[in-house]
């Protein structure tokens, strides 16, 4: 037999208060005393009242839905960020509406944003990478959009709200560690350099060499595409261009894994003949052979902070205020293991 649902009016009668007071408790409004709030909450718990989410959304003109645009979920970084977004949203009573980009380098942002707005999302977290000029549309129109958008993996420019890992500092930490260990012929297996994050990691590698007074050239750089296969192929290419290499900064752990396999196939010992540093600190990197020195970035926290920033902007707008676009930086950490 189906149990009849408890209504808000029943809760109000049982608690001896108005329906408006019950509504304020449910919506965590501040206009009531702590004693009344506790009393009403006890009645809600005792009667087993469950607010009607659809009715609440209609009455408040809110969908409690956050749009998320992402790509590359086959890789550790994007998938970890998405988990952080989903769990952060869930903690605040939001569901997510996911739009996956299969060609993130294309500039079709207007169509995607309009589609999400038409489905009444309250905000958008744009977690797809910045590649080439695929953010140009946003910089022109973002101030006119009806909902806030938080961007991951994009440069700080004073126009967009950004939450980002300091990739340049991560590249610097990786290279500085190799320099501190006495290596001077340091190669780079970069990610695709049309990606902003990849170019930033290359910039950190370059910064560390310049700070140490060490000259470098393009012969020390090869470009991969984040996969282990491209890391192995990149290592062979690097050896042809820069045979004296004694250490390599691979710009993600998957490329480092392929690079290490390539080195072993050529009879090179790690770290005796070649030191290797990765980037990401994927869970498996501690079990590589040898365990991989890498740069840890807390991508779960990145996604979580993007949700927090959205909530801050939305709450400010509800108070009739506006927040100046700003960038929140997460600092990466060096994790030293046996590969160096």
Output the CA angle 74-334-160, nearest 5 degrees.
60
pLDDT (mean) for 168-184: 98
pLDDT (mean) for 195-213: 96
**Residue pLDDT, tens place only, 222-266:** 999 999 999 999 999 999 999 999 999 999 999 999 999 999 999
Q: Which domains are present in the chain?
A: 8-51 (1.10.260.40), 65-164+299-330 (3.40.50.2300), 167-296 (3.40.50.2300)
**Residue pLDDT, tens place only, 122-152:** 999 998 888 877 777 777 777 777 788 999 8
Strand ranges inside 110-260, DSSP E: 123-126, 149-152, 161-165, 186-190, 221-223, 247-250
**Dihedral sign computed on CA atoms, order 190, 192, 194, 195:** negative
d(CA 67, CA 64): 10
Is the Cβ–Cβ distance between 113 and 145 less than 8 Å?
Answer: yes
Q: Confidence class of residue 60 from pLDDT cuts 50, 70 and 90? A: very low
Q: What is the pTM of this model?
A: 0.78
């Amino acid at each position: 037999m189906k149990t009849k649902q408890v209504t808000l009016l029943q809760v109000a009668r049982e608690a001896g208060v108005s329906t408006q007071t019950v509504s304020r408790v449910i919506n965590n409004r501040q206009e009531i005393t702590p004693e009344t709030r506790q009393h009403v909450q006890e009645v809600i718990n005792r009667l087993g009242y469950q607010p009607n989410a659809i009715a609440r959304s209609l009455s408040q003109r809110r969908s409690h839905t956050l749009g998320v645009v992402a790509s590359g979920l086959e890789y550790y970084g994007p998938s970890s960020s998405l988990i952080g977004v989903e769990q952060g949203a869930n903690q605040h009573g939001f569901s997510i509406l996911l739009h996956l980009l299969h060609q993130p380098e294309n500039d079709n942002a207007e169509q995607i944003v309009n589609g999400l707005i038409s489905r009444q999302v309250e905000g958008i977290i744009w977690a797809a990478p910045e590649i080439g000029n695929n953010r140009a549309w946003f910089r022109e129109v973002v101030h006119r959009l009806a909902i806030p958008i938080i961007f991951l993996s994009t440069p700080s420019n004073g126009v967009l709200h950004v939450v980002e890992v300091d990739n340049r500092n991560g590249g610097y930490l990786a290279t500085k560690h190799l320099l501190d260990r006495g290596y001077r012929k340091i190669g780079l297996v970069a990610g695709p350099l049309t990606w902003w994050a990849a170019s930033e990691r290359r910039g950190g590698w370059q910064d560390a060499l310049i700070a140490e007074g060490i000259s470098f050239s393009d012969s020390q750089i090869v470009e991969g595409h984040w996969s282990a296969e491209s890391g192995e192929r990149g290592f062979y290419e690097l050896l042809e261009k820069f045979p004296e290499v004694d250490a390599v900064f691979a710009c993600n752990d998957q490329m480092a894994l392929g690079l290490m396999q390539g080195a072993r196939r050529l009879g090179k010992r790690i770290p005796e003949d070649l030191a290797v540093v990765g980037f990401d600190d994927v869970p498996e990197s501690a079990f590589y052979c040898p365990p991989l020195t890498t740069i840890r970035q807390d991508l779960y926290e990145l996604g979580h902070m993007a949700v927090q920033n959205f909530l801050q902007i939305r709450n400010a707008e509800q108070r009739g205020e506006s927040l100046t676009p700003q960038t929140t930086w997460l600092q990466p950490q060096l994790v030293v293991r046996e590969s160096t």
